[in-house]
Amino acid sequence: EIVMTQSPATLSVSPGERATLSCRASQSISSNLAWYQQKPGQPPRLLIYGASTRATGVPARFSGSGSGTEFTLTISSLQSEDFAVYYCQQYNNWPPLTFGGGTKVEI
Amino acid sequence: EVQLVESGGGLVQPGGSLRLSCAASGFTFSNYDISWVRQAPGKGLEWVSGISGSGGSTYYADSVMGRFTISRDNSLNTLYLQMSSLTAEDTAVYYCAKDRSSWNPLPPHFDSWGQGTLVTVSS
């Protein structure tokens, strides 16, 4: 099983600041990584797939990078609607599909 | 517009059974792998089970293997999850989630999710 580890668990930032979230895989997953955003009471929303491709309708302030075992999600200038929990997911091998534990972005 | 609507959740006693459904619309259902992903209260996301578009291939997390069965009826555009021998650790919101691509040879990642159905296992 591929273990996904996200850091930090909580990120405190101010609106307009840059946020950098990390995700590490226990073995190489090439670029087969997705990022999701989840707000309270809502299902996750796909932000990034293929490690760096934005999903339909995702603002350009969200960007993904990395390959192999180290990945980053960057939010260039945080807006109020970006405060949420972010999860990474590997889709290189299954079963099982695996998610990271999440990073909460808070004010 | 893609829609996924889960139903069938509720309160069940330990050791009991429950069947979840996910009604899909807005896309060619049989072309897509679909999964169940759950989220325990206040916790992260856990993939539970997945099924290929034809229904010919099924996949399970170790935590549910032998207790849960995923299936689909492509004539009804509906996904199912039959759950048995439930324990408190199965308490969660259960989401159905659609693979982003109909032709991706890789395992799935999900571009559409339902709103979820809550399963509570308690005496």
pLDDT in tens, A70-97: 999 999 999 999 999 999 999 999 999 9
Compute the average pLDDT of residues B83-110. 94
| CB burial of residue A68 (10 Å; 0-12, 13-18, 19+) | middle
Comparing CB atoms, the residue among B61, B97, B110 nearest residue A95 is B61
Within 10 Å of residue B120's Cβ, how many Cβ atoms?
A: 16
Indicate left, alpha or beta for B23 from its phi (over 0: left) and psi (-120 to 50: alpha): beta
Confidence of residue A23 (pLDDT cuts 50, 70, 90): very high
Compute the average pLDDT of residues B66-75. 98
pLDDT > 90 in chain A, percent: 99
Q: Residue B104: is its pLDDT beyond 90? A: no
Q: What type of residue sits at position A68?
A: G
pLDDT at B112: 98
Average pLDDT of chain B? 97
Average pLDDT of chain A? 97
What are the structure tokens assigned to B108, written together? 């799935």
Provide the shortest C-alpha distance from residue B119 to chain A (in Å): 15
Question: Across the interface, do A43 and B116 touch by the CB < 8 Å criterion?
Answer: yes
Q: What type of residue sits at position B42?
A: G
Instruction: Report whether B109 contacts A46 (CB < 8 A).
Output: yes
pLDDT at B106: 84
**A22 forms bridges with which residues in the sheet?**
A7, A72
Question: Across the interface, do A92 and B61 touch by the CB < 8 Å criterion?
Answer: no
C-alpha to C-alpha distance for A100 and A3, rounded to whole angstroms:
8
Q: Which residue of A has its CA nearest to B45?
A: A99
Q: Which residue of B has its CA nearest to A30?
A: B106
Provide the shortest C-alpha distance from residue A98 to chain B (in Å): 7
Residues near B65 by beta carbon (within 8 Å), at least 6 away in sequence: none
Question: Across the interface, do A102 and B44 touch by the CB < 8 Å criterion?
Answer: yes
Residues near B38 by beta carbon (within 8 Å), at least 6 away in sequence: B45, B46, B48, B90, B92, B93, B94, B95, B119
Output phi, psi for A68, to 5 deg. 80, -100
Question: Across the interface, do B108 and A92 touch by the CB < 8 Å criterion?
Answer: no
pLDDT at B66: 97
